[in-house]
Amino acid sequence: MRILLVEDDRDLGPVIAMGLRNEAYAVDLATTCADAEELLCGNDFDVACLDLGLPDGDGLALLRRLGADPALRRPRRLLVLTARDAVEDRVAGLDAGADDYLVKPFSFQELAARLRALSRRSDVLDAVLHVGDLRLDSAAHRAWRGDEALDLTPREFSMLRYFMHHPGRAVSAEELLEHVWDAQADPFTASVRVILSRLRRKLGEPGPITTVTGVGYVLRESP
């Protein structure tokens, strides 16, 4: 799952981003409205975590534009992270299009739990996925093939989760870079092939992920 984190606190933002990456999310960090808009013009995000008090504008105005400006790609889910704790502020944020509202200071564990809850609420992101003999629990960050637990790194886990959201469909290397990595990923590296090779070894035989020459990779329900 790819997350856009919009947070202007230069101490807090990197800490939250690191924590989310340790939870196997791909995270892009923006510190201004302008940075966020640039990322939203060219990338598809599953969730945006949006601070409201930004140095170059009000995050609430950006939140409203996400539903009206066709140049901006609206994330599937929107979570407000802000120090504004008045009831009217909460109401304004939710009425502007936010799916959830979390007041600072908050614990990272609560943020992670709310992101899992948003995942369960989404049409395309389920907490527990089943494809063939593969099972993946997003909340517990565990995966199994049959009865055998899989020992996956965060990136391998994230890649498998993306495949399991799109079983039977060819997924290109570019698409994997878009959703499993963040904006800092180099599109010319062999990162996708390296992680995919490791994941395939850990999944064992018969291999459920097959290559479609010139197109990408497919997770088969019946390998």
C-alpha span between 108 and 27 (Å, rounded): 15
According to DSSP H, which parts of 12-126 are helical? Answer: 12-22, 33-42, 59-65, 87-95, 108-121
Note the pLDDT of residue 186.
54
For residue 125, pLDDT beyond 50: no
Contact call for residues 59 and 80 (beta carbons, < 8 A): yes
Averaged pLDDT, 3-14: 93
pLDDT band at 176 (very low <50, low <70, confident <90, very high): confident
Q: Which fold has domain 128-219?
A: Arc Repressor Mutant, subunit A (1.10.10)
C-alpha span between 161 and 165 (Å, rounded): 6
pLDDT digits (tens, 9 = 90+) for 66-89: 877 888 988 989 999 999 889 998
Note the pLDDT of residue 23.
84
pLDDT band at 124 (very low <50, low <70, confident <90, very high): very low
Averaged pLDDT, 118-133: 70
Homologous superfamily assigned to 2-121: Response regulator (3.40.50.2300)
C-alpha span between 131 and 195 (Å, rounded): 20
C-alpha span between 209 and 197 (Å, rounded): 10
- Token output for 59: 């995050």
Nearest to 59 by CA among 35, 26, 42: 35
For residue 34, pLDDT beyond 90: yes
For residue 187, pLDDT beyond 80: no
Range name among 37-46, 129-138, 185-194, 214-223 with the lowest pLDDT average: 185-194
- Among all chains, which residue has been given the structure tokens 């035989």? 205
Domain ranges within the chain, ordered by starting residue: 2-121, 128-219
For residue 172, pLDDT beyond 50: yes
Amino acid at 41: C
